[in-house]
Amino acid sequence: MALELPPQRKVGMVSLGCPKALVDSERILTKLRADGYAMSADYAGADVVLVNTCGFLDSAKEESLAAIGEAIAENGRVIVTGCMGSEADLIRAKFPAVLAVTGAHQYEAVVEAVHLAAPPSQGPYIDLVPQVFEDNGGIKLTPRHYSYLKISEGCNHACAFCIIPSLRGKLVSRRIDAVLREAEKLVAAGTRELLVISQDTSAYGVDVKHEERMWKDRPVRTHMTDLARELGGLRTPDGQTPWVRLHYVYPYPHVDAVIPLMAEGLITPYLDIPFQHAAPSVLKAMKRPANEAKVLERLKSWRTICPDITIRSSFVVGFPGETEADFQYLLDWLDEAQLDRVGAFRFEPVAGAAANALPDPVPEDVKEQRYARIMEKTAAISAAKLAAKVGKTIRVIIDEVGEADEDGDIGATGRSEADAPEIDGAVYLRDAPESLKPGDFVNVIVEEADAHDLYGVIV
């Protein structure tokens, strides 16, 4: 008589928030896969649903609560994790049926909760069989050709508008040999672009006093510049240099040392720096360094060393006490800084943030007006910079290839070195060859540009 095996348990996942949370989701799913679980693409097929929440802003909390509510309505068996897990009482009060609530990057607690809700055992004949994975050793929630590489958790800053340290704790850096080993495996498995992420990439290794670890028979410091240099030495299976993109880089003095690596072509000439504002009084109230003049000098120096460098940043408008003069200072600073990519956010009180107690809140209508003005300013700067690329040939990584239209023409979407996935612009291609596929690097002649995107054709 044939042995009848019990059905394999399935887990569904809803992942919200930033790329750092996405990496957490990948790690949780990878561990569950190793424990014998299968993944479910919908609520109906899942034995239990995980909701990885974001709790940075009130609007993000509302989105997280809505996702939890939907998961309960559609499935009923829900485990909550992530940043909003720090507000377990609120979650349980609103959703008493939730099976468990765990905090950010508490992988073991999440897996234990899944084991209790849906025991994984399929019997001794199956439990002893090793689970088979992709070559990179884990489950990815991003396309195969790019991957997020998280190098640390937590943050040592005490910015007035932020509660990240209370959600994710103080800085804890990963061992540099472990980071490099993960990067090497990802590239060997097909990753063509590594996106280095953390709460503060520039502070990598501060907590361990930049200790050295052995890598490839030589010592390497736990430091951002050493990490960047080593990542720049990776090669894809076909011998190409993968893009390495640095995110969440605070402008500490040692950041200057990575610019020559960009000029040499070792890492992608792109820096994501969260300036947040430029007016000294606002930066002081935010509890951030007020050295905007020196930053302008350094931007000029970086562009001298590496003319192709792209600087992306984000700014908060309507922070408590921000005057019209402060805001105009920011606009004038942006005129001089000429940042390539800019995101802006209206200040939003967050429960537990020190900024909530500051005097002189900015009225909502004024916030909206300032938001519109900064977006108009930065769009004009971006449009001018992109217009200057028309007629030039640029390197592009392909994200998506479309189907042939009625005339047989195939369109494709990619990104230049100046474009990070999800947050920056795109390069739209016409007349793409049938052989083109996601992850391919191609050279593109830029034919047109608008405020955010480029249009062209493969050389």
Q: In terms of domains, do 296 and 163 share one?
A: yes
Say if residue 82 is exposed, middle or buried (CB neighbours under 10 Å; 0-12, 13-18, 19+): buried
Q: What does the pLDDT average to over 345-350?
A: 86
The pLDDT confidence band at residue 22, using thresholds 50, 70 and 90, is confident
pLDDT at 297: 92
Residue 369 identity: Q
- Clarify whether residues 218 and 320 are in a common domain: yes
pLDDT tens digit sequence for 238-248: 999 999 999 99
- pLDDT one-digit tens code per residue, 72-100: 999 999 999 988 888 888 999 999 999 99
Residue 1 included in any domain: no
**Whether 364 and 430 share a structural domain:** no
- Whether residues 89 and 193 share a domain: the answer is no
CA 271/CA 212 separation, integer angstroms: 25
Residues 176 and 268 in one domain: yes
- b/e per residue, 224-260, with b = 16+ CB within 10 A? bbbbbbbbbebebeeeebbbbbbbbbbbeeebeebbe
Q: Are 8 and 37 in contact (CB under 8 A)?
A: yes
**Residues 177-214: pLDDT tens digits?**
999 999 999 999 899 999 999 989 999 999 999 999 99
For residue 1, name the pLDDT band (cuts at 50, 70, 90). Answer: very low
Residue type, 284: K
Residues 268 and 213 in one domain: yes
CATH number at residue 447: 2.40.50.140
User: Which residues partner with 52 through β-bridges?
Assistant: 15, 81
Q: 199 and 170 share a domain?
A: yes
List the one residue out of 185, 267, 177 whose CA is nearest residue 220: 177
Render pLDDT for 157-184 as a digit per residue (tens, 0 to 9).
777 777 677 767 788 999 999 999 999 9
pLDDT at position 110 is 87
Q: What is the pLDDT of residue 292?
A: 59
**Residue 134 belongs to a domain:** no
89: domain CATH number? 3.40.50.12160
Last residue of a domain, one of 352, 368, 387: 387
How many domains, in total, are found in the chain? 3
Supply the pLDDT for residue 136: 43
| In a shared domain, residues 446 and 351 | no
**pLDDT score at 131:** 43
Tell me: do 382 and 400 sit in the same domain: no
Choice between 400 and 140, residue whose per-residue pLDDT is larger = 400
* Cα-to-chain-centroid distance, residue 320: 27
Query: Please, which residues bridge with residue 397 across strands?
Result: 415, 441
Q: Which domain holds residue 22?
A: 10-127
Position 351, amino acid = A
Taking the C-alpha atoms of residue 261 and residue 275, their distance in angstroms, rounded to an integer, is: 22
pLDDT at 312 over 60: yes
| Residue 382 and residue 290 in one domain | yes
Q: Is residue 139 part of a domain?
A: no
Domain presence at residue 343: yes
Tell me which of 160 and 122 has the higher pLDDT. 160
* Least confident residue range of 127-141, 170-184, 338-352, 434-448: 127-141
**Number of helices and strands in the chain (H, E):** 13, 20
Q: Which of 387, 419, 438 is the last residue of a domain?
A: 387
Cα distance between residue 72 and residue 55, in whole Å = 19
Mean pLDDT (the chain) is: 88
Same domain, 104 and 17: yes
Q: How many CB atoms lie within 10 A of CB 274?
A: 18
Tens of pLDDT, residue by residue over 96-120, are: 999 999 887 677 788 889 988 888 7
**DSSP track, 11-66:** EEEEE-SSHHHHHHHHHHHHHHHHTTPEE-SSSTT-SEEEEEE--SSHHHHHHHHH
Confidence of residue 144 (pLDDT cuts 50, 70, 90): confident
